[in-house]
Structure 1
């Protein structure tokens, strides 16, 4: 048994080194596993459906499942199209001279306050001139060729990634359970039952976590869209959708959602007096405050603590450890990865204790 634990430790070490060195391949595999887990119930139902007395072929069921994902993405993107079109129209109608005049007043007031308190030793108008010079330098330093090259490289990398994920996900769905079977084939017979129990528990917890995460996104979208609509905020559904997706990033997601809502509200609103902007900000912040309280008090403890059966303090530490290792991506995948290792170690330790008990009884 001790030798088996050594093998497990070496396998985990190899897995971590492989994932670090081939980070792109590892991210493709993880995303494919998640996508396959989400599409498997729909694919299995379609595969079991009878058409003209015959089962729908599994490859066709997978393609239909892919089509549902594409249709969902197209539907969601249509929510952002009016907002993007509105922002393009606003940018095309911008008058730089008017913007300079509007910005100059608050900057001059701030500069005069600093001068009065002897916190700034310069001539009046220095801050505004520095601000305008930095903007001009940024615009003049913009290289169209470099930007186009960056866009092409990013687009090609994204296309390659999507093709790889679609290819891996297709075979994970087509050969249902192939990855699990191949892994179990590597397990020695004395530890086969223990390994099966561990795989089953990990799959159940991850499935519960993904289902809970989808429910959390749906709840946040519903609460935010209803609240913003009642407050009369334009593009309420678009802001709510962005907030729901951004909430996948623990702790930082709600801030991103509220920031996006403020930017959209200020850029699309019409204001007669300066107090109107303050009133708009208060309404948006009030909605996201209620959404955040609901998420923290009700949704997160229900999803993160109960679905993965871990203490909230564990979740807190693991999320920030993931952020330290891999940034935002690490924060998103910290809980699933931690669940896999935690359950595996606990199950193998439980099996080791049972093994010791049976061994002691047999010797007696």
Structure 2
């Protein structure tokens, strides 16, 4: 089998260039990327409202008002609960520290039979790790408060950017196509259509999937009476946006909360069962329903993209990695198809 080195080199070069550009200009590009993603999520609703006779600008404004209304209700109802649960976790942190340290000491005493002095070393290391973790959490909290102003600025930029993407998106596409030479006209239209279809479907599907997983997990945790079930369910849903690693993060969070809050082995097992059950529902029911228009990337490519995105832009990079690689894949495929078509036409002309 012949290795397609040309495709590999082209794709690799594009990926490296994208990573370099995002690394250098991420402060500028990040708001635009979020605005672009938000416009993809709201785009079909705007198109449908426009088809009902509502002007595009009015449709966008109505959607924004509805979005802000839902957000206000969510903040009024959920934020106080999540805040109280987060405060309780912070207050009980010394108890959790002592519990984990005791488990580490018990484990160390069992291992002392084979490695003398291990329990003392293990206890000191666990205590030191928890101390450093607490300091890190406090520092992150201070940084988060300090970053509220920049976050507000980011939100404003994203809203303005998505407004113009939604209102003038068709004009942007038309202007782009007009810049393309006639011989690449059909290929460019095909590229835009494929990106809209695959990436738009993926982004909207991910948002719906995360919401469904979060709701199901919250209900499951409430049934087993898991402490902080709303907060843990929100983490489960939000983390699910990250391919492969997200469900693992949610699983660790749920079982860790069940263990640290002094729950019995039954509660820990129940939290694990809820996570596994939600993931099975996600894999066999939610994903086939809402992710019909997938980017169709190999799992190894997805894992590499998520790791690379995380190393460049942290959690945000992990979330954006798959859509970016999906766009690159569509661009390379369309370009190669155009090249093959051009070569075939040249051979027929001879």
TM-score by length of 1: 0.74
CA distance in 1, matches of 2:194, 2:325: 14
Aligned twin of 1:82: 81
CA distance in 2, matches of 1:222, 1:149: 30
Deviates more, 1:190-199 or 1:353-362: 353-362
Aligned twin of 1:31: 34
Choose from 104, 117, 120 the match for 1:120. 117
CA distance in 1, matches of 2:330, 2:101: 59
Per the TM alignment, residue 263 of structure 1 is displaced from its structure 2 partner at its CA by 4.9
1:182 lines up with 2:175 in the alignment: yes
Deviates more, 1:202-211 or 1:214-223: 214-223
- What runs of 5+ residues in structure 1 fail to find an aligned partner? 1-7
Cα pair 1:242 1:257 within 8 Å, conserved: yes
Question: Which is bigger in relative contact order (C-alpha 8 A, separation at least 6)?
Answer: 2
CA distance in 2, matches of 1:216, 1:321: 23
Per the TM alignment, residue 91 of structure 1 is displaced from its structure 2 partner at its CA by 5.5
Structure 1 SS opposite 2:161: helix
Per the TM alignment, residue 185 of structure 1 is displaced from its structure 2 partner at its CA by 3.0
RMSD between aligned residues: 4.1
Aligned twin of 1:4: none
1:159 lines up with 2:152 in the alignment: yes
Aligned twin of 1:344: 331
The within-5 A match list for 1:171-320 is 171-234=164-227, 236-265=229-258, 276-296=263-283, 307-320=294-307
Relative to 1, partners in 2 of residues 1:349 and 1:167: Cα closer, same or farther, differing over 3 Å? same
CA distance in 2, matches of 1:147, 1:313: 32
Aligned twin of 2:59: 61
Cα pair 1:172 1:178 within 8 Å, conserved: no
CA distance in 2, matches of 1:17, 1:138: 32
Cα pair 1:243 1:256 within 8 Å, conserved: yes
Bigger Cα Rg: 1
TM-score by length of 2: 0.76
Per the TM alignment, residue 361 of structure 1 is displaced from its structure 2 partner at its CA by 2.1
CA distance in 1, matches of 2:271, 2:182: 59
Aligned twin of 2:344: 357
CA distance in 2, matches of 1:115, 1:10: 53
Per the TM alignment, residue 194 of structure 1 is displaced from its structure 2 partner at its CA by 1.3
Aligned twin of 1:70: 68
How far does the alpha carbon of each residue in 1:152-171 deviate from its partner, in whole angstroms, 9 at most, with x for none? 54122212211211121121
Per the TM alignment, residue 13 of structure 1 is displaced from its structure 2 partner at its CA by 7.9
CA distance in 2, matches of 1:46, 1:159: 29
Per the TM alignment, residue 22 of structure 1 is displaced from its structure 2 partner at its CA by 0.9
Per the TM alignment, residue 243 of structure 1 is displaced from its structure 2 partner at its CA by 1.0
Per the TM alignment, residue 224 of structure 1 is displaced from its structure 2 partner at its CA by 2.2
How far does the alpha carbon of each residue in 1:184-208 deviate from its partner, in whole angstroms, 9 at most, with x for none? 2331122112111111111111122
CA distance in 1, matches of 2:104, 2:338: 68
Relative to 1, partners in 2 of residues 1:90 and 1:199: Cα closer, same or farther, differing over 3 Å? closer
CA distance in 2, matches of 1:17, 1:128: 43
Per the TM alignment, residue 60 of structure 1 is displaced from its structure 2 partner at its CA by 3.7
The within-5 A match list for 1:98-109 is 109=106
Relative to 1, partners in 2 of residues 1:169 and 1:224: Cα closer, same or farther, differing over 3 Å? same
Relative to 1, partners in 2 of residues 1:347 and 1:154: Cα closer, same or farther, differing over 3 Å? same
Cα pair 2:187 2:334 within 8 Å, conserved: yes
Report the count of equivalent residues. 338
Cα pair 1:265 1:280 within 8 Å, conserved: yes
- What runs of 5+ residues in structure 2 fail to find an aligned partner? 1-10
CA distance in 2, matches of 1:283, 1:87: 22
Relative to 1, partners in 2 of residues 1:354 and 1:76: Cα closer, same or farther, differing over 3 Å? same
Structure 2 SS opposite 1:22: helix
